Copies of this chain bind each other. A is one copy, B any other.
Amino acid sequence: MKRIFEVDPWHVVSHELVPADKRLQESMTSIGNGYMGMRGMFEEHYSGDTLKGIYIGGVWYPDKTRVGWWKNGYPDYFGKVVNAVNFIKVNLTIDGDQVDLAKDNISDFTLDLDMQTGILRRAFTVTKGAKQVRFVIDRFVSGAQKELFDVHYQVHNLGADPVQIGFISQIDADVFNEDANYDEQFWQVLSKSHALSGGSMVAETKPNAFGTPRFTLGMQMMHQTDFEAVAAPETDKAVTNIFRGTLAPDERTTFEKRVVVVTSRDYDDEPALRGALASLSETISQQAYADLRQAHVDVWHQRWQLADVVIDGDAAAQQGIRFNLFQLFSTYYGEDKRLNLGPKGFTGEKYGGATYWDTEAFGVPFYLSLADPQVTENLLEYRYNQLAGAFHNAKQQGLAGALFPMVTFNGIECHNEWEITFEEIHRNGSIAYAIFNYTRYTSDETYLKTKGIDVLTAISRFWADRVHFSQRKQQYMIHGVTGPNEYENNVNNNWYTNLMARWTLKYTLASLQKVSAAKREDLAISDEECAHWQDIVDRMYFPHDDKLGIFIQNDTFLDKDLKPVSSIPANQRPINQHWSWDHILRSPYIKQADVLQGIYYFMDRFTPEQKRANFDFYEPLTVHESSLSPAVHAVLAADLHKEDKAVEMYERTARLDLDNYNNDTVDGLHITSMTGSWLAIVQGFAGMRVHDDTLAFAPFVPKAWQHYQFHVNFRGRLLKVDVDQQGTTVTLVSGDPLAIELNQQRVDLATSVTSQN
């Protein structure tokens, strides 16, 4: 754990520039608007260690994976987010000397992400001998106008003499990905244009050998300043504008850089892209800074009105939940159904921009409650629209039906570890589960009957082909899988995977009863196929131990050397940074909830005794080195009235990045797992469920808290839930009256009801 920012309800703020923590600071001060985003790297020259990253949603490159040990069925390429052309760059000079924030004498430093407004402010004073200049710099990517990046400088001469200040503003295509194999670059400059006070560039990703699309980026920079524009040198990869002016003692000025960024994803061809770039730039250039800024702030204001969570009595928790909501909304707010929720969002290269099963497992319940149902439907349709890729993936393995990818940009699997790609097929279960979850929450079966059923049928066909029948046991089995616990792999009969496979088949069979005959015909469903699926449902094998009263994670798990996590010396945690992969694989330690993930999905189908026995067995073996893990444990612990354990688990998820719990936030934020802290509060502490078509709550308040409040959308209503040590108040903020269940009691909600906890 490492806390480098101050605790504050609405700000992520630090007053120190610590070079050793620079990457961590950058991760934590990332901003984004769903369309694009960037790490909290400086616009200005910084010669110290830094991880520069600007990312555009859906812009990626297929890197080669064919290596010596390539085997049939391995993906052809590894998809990676491309670090975009650096269009934010602004170097500063003071009397001609370049400011280097890593080396210059810097004082009164502030780095402040305002989560309420989505504006990142930096402020610092540079002292060079007798010269002293203060800079206050605000940056945002507009929530109102997705193509707009804006950075605004206030400059103040604090010295006794006049100083000349220079702004060297660039669009620079000389960028690298840190994870490039051989330091290759991905951008080719197509054209540049250059005026004294502005400039533009059109650049394209380099060709690839796999026939996946190339992407074109058009960028126009504009500057608002009283300083004089001076001629700048031409270089191959950059467009540069230089502005200089002199400030008298105590004089102030401002400098603003606006960049409009368009991509070929939104335009039919290059002329259209160039036309849009010009007209958007024209429109934006005519607006006042204050208006552009206000429009952006207003968007964030609306989001917070719908989704804010208030915690009284625990300032760190308050900051944690808001940080998570802020970063999630910065990554995805449902505007573009071709995009999805990447595990690192716009905050780092790792997993960057690609889609994982995290979306269905952790993103869907979050957006279901906090945004219009259309946002969630967009997430579901993302998979529907990628069915062709999923058929391809299954076929690559020689299997029927659809295997949705572990990692993808376009539906085709683009990761390249066989133990993940081939074996973590449980993801297919979560993609089916999301359809069920959406339908249960909204009570709207339209999507299920029109598109969802195609996805369910395709996944069921995969499962039916992927199981095999064991003559010896006379049961169906699934060999060679990796469960959610990636600290084991290539195991047989992972209980969770078997559960999800059987459940999908069962749910698909039931759903097929609801669809039209025409749809069934379209899907070419035969009675024989249904009968075979039913046979698998009836005779699926599940490893379990009657003596312990538990489900077994996989066939041979109980043969391991079963010592609890508490027996691992503290200096060997996290184990993935201290132990060899071999050691980890053979250990009993669980990276993230596996059996418990299955119980979490189907909470009301297991008895309290089953839940308790499994929780008590698996929780002590779990190291939670996946950021997705603690939330599931928090919800289950709350369900089992283990309130202290629920709070402990919540705390790990709530400030995972703010406190750098897993010591890997330098690489970027754990965006998808940020939903976990919200789930822990709402499904955990407040016990929210949909029981038999009814929304239910059974809240408690963590001992250290006085009160918490959150909002949820449910079937056209906006509910506000307030929980304090005395009881719970549920307020119907808008929408028709609704019957809910509060602490096991049915209550009719006209406006607001209160119940004692």
- What is A's interface to B at a CB cutoff of 8 Å? 67-69, 71-74, 78, 179, 181-182, 350, 396-398, 416-419, 422-423, 468-473, 477, 479-480, 489-490, 492, 555-556, 558-562, 576-583, 585-586
Contacts and interface: CB of A to CB of B under 8 A. Distances in A.
A580 B489 contact: no
Contacts of A469: 561
Contacts of A74: 581
A494 to B, nearest CB: 12
Contacts of A72: 576-581
A67 B559 contact: no
A53 B637 CA distance: 63
A422 B468 CA distance: 29
A581 to B, nearest CB: 4
A480 B582 contact: yes
A555 B490 CA distance: 13
Given A490-B489, A578-B72, A559 B477 contact: yes
Contacts of A182: 181-182
Contact of A73 (B181, B396, B559, B581): B581
Given A471-B562, A559-B492, A418 B68 contact: no
B179 A586 contact: no
Contacts of A577: 72
A547 to B, nearest CB: 10
Nearest to A575: B72
Contacts of A78: 68
B558 A555 contact: no
Contacts of A558: 472
Interface of A is mostly: loop
Contacts of A418: 581-582
10 interchain residue pairs of minimum CB distance? A73-B580, A71-B581, A422-B582, A490-B490, A468-B561, A397-B580, A480-B586, A470-B559, A398-B583, A397-B582
Contacts of A561: 468-471
A586 B492 CA distance: 10
Nearest to A572: B398
19 contacts: A72-B578, A72-B579, A73-B580, A73-B581, A73-B583, A181-B181, A181-B182, A419-B419, A422-B585, A469-B561, A470-B561, A471-B561, A472-B558, A473-B559, A479-B556, A479-B586, A489-B490, A490-B490, A490-B585
Contacts of A473: 559
Contacts of A350: 68
A557 to B, nearest CB: 10
A511 to B, nearest CB: 28
Given A398-B580, A422-B581, A579-B398, A560 B181 contact: no
Contacts of A582: 73, 397-398, 418, 422-423, 480
Nearest to A468: B561
Contacts of A398: 579-580, 582-583
A67 B415 CA distance: 12
A269 B69 CA distance: 36
A78 B69 CA distance: 11
Contacts of A396: 580
A97 to B, nearest CB: 36
A78 B350 CA distance: 23
A125 B653 CA distance: 78
B417 A586 contact: no
A422 B580 CA distance: 9
B583 A69 contact: no
Contacts of A479: 556, 559-560, 586
A418 B419 CA distance: 11
A556 B72 CA distance: 24
A575 to B, nearest CB: 9
B560 A470 contact: yes
Contact of A181 (B67, B179, B580): B67
A554 to B, nearest CB: 9
A473 B560 CA distance: 10
Contacts of A477: 559
Nearest to A583: B398
B556 A492 contact: yes
Nearest to A558: B472
A257 B64 CA distance: 42
B181 A585 contact: no
A561 B469 CA distance: 7
Given A418-B581, A419-B419, A492-B559, 16 more contacts: A67-B181, A68-B179, A72-B579, A73-B580, A181-B181, A397-B580, A398-B582, A418-B582, A468-B560, A468-B586, A470-B559, A471-B562, A472-B559, A480-B582, A489-B490, A555-B556
A632 to B, nearest CB: 24
Contacts of A585: 422, 480, 490
The interface centre, meaning the residue of A74, A469, A490 with most chain B CB atoms within 10 A of its CB, is A490
A384 to B, nearest CB: 25
Nearest to A425: B582
A83 to B, nearest CB: 15
A754 to B, nearest CB: 52
Nearest to A418: B581
A556 B559 contact: no
A432 B68 CA distance: 29
A74 B585 CA distance: 13
A469 to B, nearest CB: 7
A19 B423 CA distance: 41
A423 B579 CA distance: 16
B417 A69 contact: yes
A397 B581 CA distance: 8
A146 B419 CA distance: 46
A472 B558 CA distance: 7
A398 B419 CA distance: 22
A559 B581 CA distance: 27
Contacts of A68: 78, 179, 350
Contacts of A397: 580, 582-583
A653 to B, nearest CB: 24
A559 to B, nearest CB: 5
Contacts of A470: 559-561
Contacts of A576: 71-72
Contacts of A179: 68
Contacts of A468: 560-561, 586
A596 B20 CA distance: 57
Contacts of A490: 419, 489-490, 585
A422 B490 CA distance: 14
